[in-house]
Amino acid sequence: MEFMFGIPSFVHFGEGVSKKLGEMAAGMGAKKAFVVYDKGVKAAGIVDGLIASLKDAGVEALEYDGVLPNPPDTQVEEAAVIARSANVDIVVAVGGGSSIDSAKAINILLSNPSPINQYEGINTVKVPGKPLIAIPTTAGTASEVTAFSIVTDTARTKKMIIGGQFVGPTIALADPLLTVGMPPKITSSTGMDALTHAIEAYVSKAAMIPTDVIALKAIELISNNIVKATKNGSCLEARAGMLLAA
């Protein structure tokens, strides 16, 4: 038997761990953070506390709220220009898969030349980016712990997969409190996304003992919690179970 297994992110899971954002960023020597999110996350009131955590730790926050669903390459390039000109030294992603995928791609361009399209494929990114902290607000794609970014090539109208050792987040702060109050439709749809990923991992020809163990536990957690989380968005136990499953 032979296999290799790992995830790119150091994961800190638990209620309230997102409040440690400033402490962690400062601990990595950060002075200026580029905070990436979409307008919906801002409207939900999630961003303000995170910005306060950064500022309390002495880290300046430059906010970017232009994330779009299935992030297009044009949006990534736009944000990267802003981040480069501001000389940010850490990237923070807040939101679902689109926000985190955007932040990963932006981070690539902080240390590697544009355009982002040239990095389609696996291990095409040659230079590490800045430290990247990912804070999920949905329990679905788990982009916060993967070494892949999905970006839409607008010229070819095609989703590109960019993956490899210099793509994934440095740290994932998985805080179930940030998922409380997610609308039922988003709870159920992102939960089914997580379930699909778990089933795919289990039946994959590339499956191995570690992935089987994790996939089966994820399926169990989702089956036990998705209905409760959808029907009662304030049930923290169900929210924690779904985020852990993702």
Profile the chain (246 residues) by mean pLDDT over runs of 10 residues. Answer: 86 97 97 97 95 98 97 98 97 97 98 98 97 97 96 97 96 97 94 97 95 97 98 95 97
Q: Give the pTM.
A: 0.95
Q: Is residue 2 a part of any domain in this protein?
A: no
Last residue of a domain, one of 145, 160, 178: 178
How far is the first Cα of the chain from the last one, in angstroms, to the nearest whole number?
Answer: 27
Taking CB atoms within 8 Å and a gap of at least 24, the contacts of 77-83 are 77/109, 77/114, 77/115, 77/116, 79/34, 79/36, 79/106, 80/105, 80/106, 80/109, 80/110, 80/114, 80/116, 82/34, 83/34, 83/109, 83/110
Q: What is the pLDDT of residues 129-176, one digit of tens each?
A: 999 999 999 999 999 999 999 999 999 999 999 999 999 999 999 999
- pLDDT tens-place string over residues 175-187: 999 999 899 999 9
Contact in structure between 29 and 50 (CB atoms under 8 Å): no
Output Rg (C-alpha) for the chain, integer angstroms.
Answer: 17
CA distances (Å), origin 43, targets 37, 65, 130, 244: 11, 11, 27, 25
CA distance 72 to 74: 5
Is 51 found in the same domain as 32?
yes
- Domain membership of residue 142 (yes or no) is yes
Q: Is 7 exposed, middle or buried (0-12, 13-18, 19+ CB in 10 A)?
A: middle
Contact call for residues 21 and 50 (beta carbons, < 8 A): yes
224 found inside a domain: yes
Residue 1: predicted pLDDT: 78
Q: Are residues 206 and 153 in the same domain?
A: no
Q: What pLDDT is recorded for position 222?
A: 98
- The residue out of 144, 178, 212 marking a domain boundary is 178
Q: What is the pLDDT of residue 195?
A: 98
Q: Does 235 lie in the same domain as 151? A: no
In whole numbers, what is the pLDDT of the chain averaged over residues?
96
Structure tokens at 140: 């679905």
| Nearest partner of 22 among 92, 96, 122, judged by Cα | 92
Which residue, of 178, 197, 223, is where some domain finishes?
178
Asked whether residue 241 falls in the same domain as residue 150, the answer is no
- pLDDT confidence of residue 2: 84
Its domain, for residue 160, covers 10-178
Same-domain status, 219 and 126: no
Q: Are residues 67 and 82 in the same domain?
A: yes
Q: Domain count of the chain?
A: 2
